[in-house]
Amino acid sequence: MMNNIKLVLAAAIAGGFFMLVFRGVAVPKDNSEQWQSIDPQTRQWFRGLKNSQGVPCCSEVDGHRIDEWRIDDFGKVLVTFGGREFEVPHDKVLFNTPNRIGVAILWISDSGHIYCFLPSALG
């Protein structure tokens, strides 16, 4: 009986730890439909985007439209994605890349690693 209680307690603690660690991780959805109607040149442009380190942003289906983003008083770029605010490292922001589609796009992994951020025009 005592071993069963210990087992249940250990499982509850492990479950609680799992929820604490993974509660804030953004889970991107499949974006393939949002970009279906883009023309071949724009699709090629998407696939050629790279951050300042030369790392590809990935393709259009990996990008997420971002409605909320800002630059704070310290010059940090902050984006809201999945109900959470992320700071985008400056080397991942494509400030010098013309935005052919007009909306802000974030390339982010399931674990929250940011590959690129293409800003829209500010306000």
CA atoms of 46 and 60, how far apart (whole Å): 6
**Rounded to an integer, what distance in angstroms lies between the CA atom of residue 28 and that of residue 46?**
18
- Burial of 97 from C-beta contacts in 10 A (0-12 / 13-18 / 19+): middle
Rounded to whole angstroms, the Cα distance separating 41 from 106 reads 20
Q: How far is CA 116 from the centre of its chain?
A: 8
Tell me the pLDDT of the chain (123 aa) as tens digits: 555 444 434 444 444 433 333 333 344 444 545 666 778 888 888 889 999 999 898 776 678 999 999 999 999 999 999 999 999 999 999 998 889 888 999 999 888 899 999 999 764
Instruction: Please tell me the distance from the alpha carbon of residue 3 to that of residue 47, in angstroms, as a whole number.
Output: 56
* pTM of the shown model: 0.68
25 contact partners, CB below 8 Å, separation of at least 6 = 110, 111, 112
